[in-house]
Chain A
Amino acid sequence: MSVAPARPRRKNPILRTRLPTVPPAARSRVALGLTAAAALGRFELQVCLACGAVQYPPREACHICLSDRLEWRAQDGAGELLADSVVHHSQELFFRERGPWRLGLVKLACGPSVVAHLHGNCPAAPARVRVSSTLDKAGQAVLAAFAEQETPTMTDDRQLREMTCDPRARKILVTDGKTAVGRAVVEQLAAAGAEIIWVGHAEPWKKFPGFDALRAIKQATLMPLDVTDSQSVTELAGEIGGKVDIVVNTAEHHRNFGIEARSGLDVARAEMDVNYFGLLRLAQAFGPALRARGADGQASAVAWVNLLSIFALTNFPPHGTFSASKAAAYSLSQCLRAEMLPAGIRVINLFPGPIDDEWNQLILPPKLAPSALAAALVKAMREGVEDVYPGDIAQDWLARWRDNPKVLERELAAGA
């Protein structure tokens, strides 16, 4: 059965903090194709281009015709639950701590039979179900079956909730609340039921629009935070780091210069100092406590969110130094992800296209509204997705980049 979780009780401070464990994380290389799709929120299986057979588990050659021309394609997941069981005795710590664990065997309409986690609303076999793919606590794709008729959320299921990073009842740090994006993120996290939102802001002498609106949000508390100042980051981490469940790094310095358009390094350095070194300072200061609290009861540390940019994938020359700083942040976020995986903390990266703000003023529409970006963030947190490309431009660039990054490089160099 699925029940919405009640607000978690306060933790007894005398008790030892349970350390994080994760489900079995080992996967073969071909199986990682499932994870790559789930990172984007997609359920894909290999389809043989020669004979059309759908493959599962993932493999190197078609099990019908032996062709190696296997392509990952989206699946709708419709199927029939043939059998289900509840595992009372598990061999792994993760499931022993959270058992008993329900799972089932589903015959997909597209062909293969799959083992899947079962959402609480999934009836006993036989039943028509829908299977989707999501990232589990180890950051690997797993299949989950839901009752066909309803569209339940994962967050209200005891087993699947842990695979999401639902902001509800959590304590969240938003590193920069002064920008339009930062404000939208705070508003939507509050609407999503966050318990506390610490809102970082630097240069307090610079009043910003929306300041009063932010202060009016019940859950929000404004905190001094300058990600270019190691002392500021360390001090804030010392003060609240042990309570933060989710870090949302919205701090960003964005200017519109390539190489030739600006002499000197000052702009590029400022972009790197906020966009790259800011992330590094935050990760060094907040990372350890986040990792230690990955399994800390109902309101545990769960996620680190980075506001990157679609420019991180391929340089956008008019904003060339900004792009480079975002690329540096992207690379570092991959390092952060690897370090967070053993603790079950998900690193979520947002790659928006141009946001509808002052630094993208001269870019033609479509541009992404800050509220749309914030909505995409909350959705990704709820659905267990880790790579988010919100908006039409981001989706378009992603498709071009995946198709051929070199071609995209040329298109952007030509001012396409």
Chain B
Amino acid sequence: MSTNTLLDLVAALAAGRIRLVDLTQTLSPDFPPIVLPPEMGQSWPFRIEEASRYDERGPGWYWNNLSFGEHTGTHFDAPIHWISGRDLPNNATDTIPVEHMIAPAVVIDCSQEAAADADFLLTVDFVRSWETRHGPIPPRAWVLMRTDWSKRSDPVAYQNFDETGQHTPGPDAEVVQFLIRERDCIGFGSESIGTDAGQGFHLQPPYPCHYFMHGAGRYGLQCLCNLDLLPPTGAVLICPPLKIKQGSGSPLRVLALVPAP
């Protein structure tokens, strides 16, 4: 029975009845990393050092050595990443149940609001309004906040700093708690650097998405792209992070299975 379902899945993929959408940004040195105040430990940007390129260092082959932080590029946040989740069981990238790595996803379109206001905050009302059109958010689903922020190819615009800090959209404290308690979501995903808004430090508590999600053993996905290619409901995400010992997160490939229209 289950074997047939799997074969059906493969056949559907081959026939195009199920599409694969890549929600992952390319890892390159140009991709902006998260920036903390100078006194803090920093997350490394993605760097590539050639080991050889069909040359005297290795005539027949090309390969690189890489350096990056656990939270570089399109990446996964595990509960251990935040202080509120540090004591939970199975909270690191090597201990998270693998069953959680394939899950349904809903996409809440805030692109117009984010275009008008870089500090746009997703609220409970906005979600309820979305639910009137698309139905209730199912349990154990990813809630992805579509802002089209990934279309900002200029790193300056993507980071969007001014003298008061970073200005990117995100959820407010109430909607995060709502999604956890009332909708049992598996995690929150965003297109910008950080699941929390750029000004999230000033919310109560600071960085509420990280605080509450990880405190409840839920996950985060950041720097997603192509959310505009996903239906509001019905997509399934495949997002296994690297199995890093006690890892707080990792860059990863995020794939979405989408029924073809």
Contacts and interface: CB of A to CB of B under 8 A. Distances in A.
Touch test A–B (CB under 8 Å): yes
B155 A230 contact: no
Nearest to B48: A231
Contacts of A232: 29
B155 A270 contact: no
A83 B155 CA distance: 66
A154 to B, nearest CB: 42
Contacts of B7: none
Given A204-B155, A205-B156, A206-B161, A270 B42 contact: yes
B86 interface: no
Contact of A266 (B41, B47, B161): B41
A229 interface: yes
A206 B45 CA distance: 15
Interface residues on A, range: 10 to 19
Nearest to A264: B41
B161 A229 contact: no
B231 interface: no
Given A228-B47, A230-B49, A232-B29, A207 B42 contact: no
The listed residue with most B CB atoms (<10 A of its CB), out of A205, A207, A228, A264, is: A205
A231 B156 CA distance: 19
Given A204-B155, A205-B159, A206-B161, A231 B35 contact: no
The listed residue with most A CB atoms (<10 A of its CB), out of B29, B160, B162, is: B29
Given A205-B161, A206-B161, A226 B29 contact: yes
Interface string B149-184: 000000110111111000000000000000000000
Given A205-B156, A264-B41, A230 B161 contact: no
Interface string A228-254: 111110000000000000000000000
B32 interface: yes
Contacts of B50: 230
B170 to A, nearest CB: 18
Contacts of B163: 207
A228 B29 CA distance: 10
Contacts of A205: 32, 35, 155-156, 158-161
A228 B50 CA distance: 14
Contacts of B155: 204-205
Interface in A159-207: 203-207
The listed residue with most B CB atoms (<10 A of its CB), out of A203, A204, A207, A228, is: A203
Contact of B42 (A206, A226, A229, A266): A266
Interface string A72-95: 000000000000000000000000
24 contacts: A204-B155, A204-B156, A205-B35, A205-B155, A205-B156, A205-B159, A205-B160, A205-B161, A206-B35, A206-B161, A207-B161, A207-B162, A207-B163, A226-B29, A228-B45, A228-B47, A230-B29, A230-B50, A231-B48, A232-B29, A264-B41, A266-B41, A266-B42, A270-B42
Interface of B: 29, 32, 35, 38, 41-42, 45, 47-50, 155-156, 158-163
Interface of A: 203-207, 226, 228-232, 255, 264, 266-267, 270
